[in-house]
Amino acid sequence: MSAAARSYLSKALDIMEKNALLRHQVKWAEVRRRAFSQARAAQKPSDTYDAIRSALRTVGHGHSSFFEPKQVKEVIEAPPDSSFQGPEARSLGDHVAYVSLPGVQGSDAAYERYVRQGREAVAKADRSGACGWVVDLRRNRGGNMWPMLTVAGPILGDGKVGMFVDPDGKTYPWTIQNGSPRENGRPFDWGDSTPVANPDAPVAVLTDKGTASAGEAVAVAFRGRPQTRSFGEDTYGAPTGNNDHRLSDGAMLILTEVKDADRTGRSYDAPISPDEEIPTIKLRSGAHADQVLQAAKNWLRNGARGCGSSRPAPRSGP
Q: What is the pLDDT of residues 269-295, one digit of tens each?
A: 899 999 999 987 765 555 556 899 999
- Check: CB of residue 129 under 8 Å from CB of residue 198: yes
pLDDT above 90 (res 55): yes
Asked whether the predicted pLDDT for residue 114 surpasses 80, the reply is yes
28-38 and 3-19 helices cross at what angle (nearest 10)?
150
Percent of the chain with pLDDT over 90: 83
- As a whole number, the mean pLDDT across the chain is 92
Whether the per-residue pLDDT at 184 is higher than 50: the answer is yes
Mean pLDDT value of segment 305-316 = 54
Q: Residue 107, SS3?
A: coil
Average pLDDT over residues 128-142: 95
Backbone angles phi, psi at 70, to 5 degrees: -65, -40
Q: Is residue 189 pLDDT above 70, yes or no?
A: yes
The answer, yes or no, to whether residue 82 has pLDDT greater than 80, is no
Cβ(228)–Cβ(161) under 8 Å?
A: no
- Give the start-to-end residue ranges of the domains of the chain: 3-60, 88-242+260-303
Q: Band of the pLDDT at 152, cuts 50, 70, 90?
A: very high
pLDDT recorded at residue 282: 66
> Residue 123: which pLDDT band, with cuts at 50, 70 and 90?
very high
Closest CA to 182 of 211, 143, 221: 221
Q: Do 203 and 225 meet the contact criterion of CB atoms below 8 Å apart? A: yes
How confident is the model at residue 293, as a pLDDT?
Answer: 95
pLDDT at residue 163, as a whole number: 98
Query: Is residue 171 scored above 90 in pLDDT?
Result: yes
Model pLDDT, residue 78: 75
pLDDT at 307: 80
Q: Which residue has the higher pLDDT, 152 or 82?
A: 152
The reported pLDDT for the residue numbered 280 is 79
Cα(251)–Cα(161) distance, integer angstroms? 33
- Domain 88-242+260-303 classification at class level: alpha beta
3-state secondary structure 116-171: HHHHHHHHHHCCCCCCEEEEECCCCCCECHHHHHHHHHHHHCCEEEEEEECCCCCE
Which of residues 309 and 66 earns the better pLDDT score?
A: 66
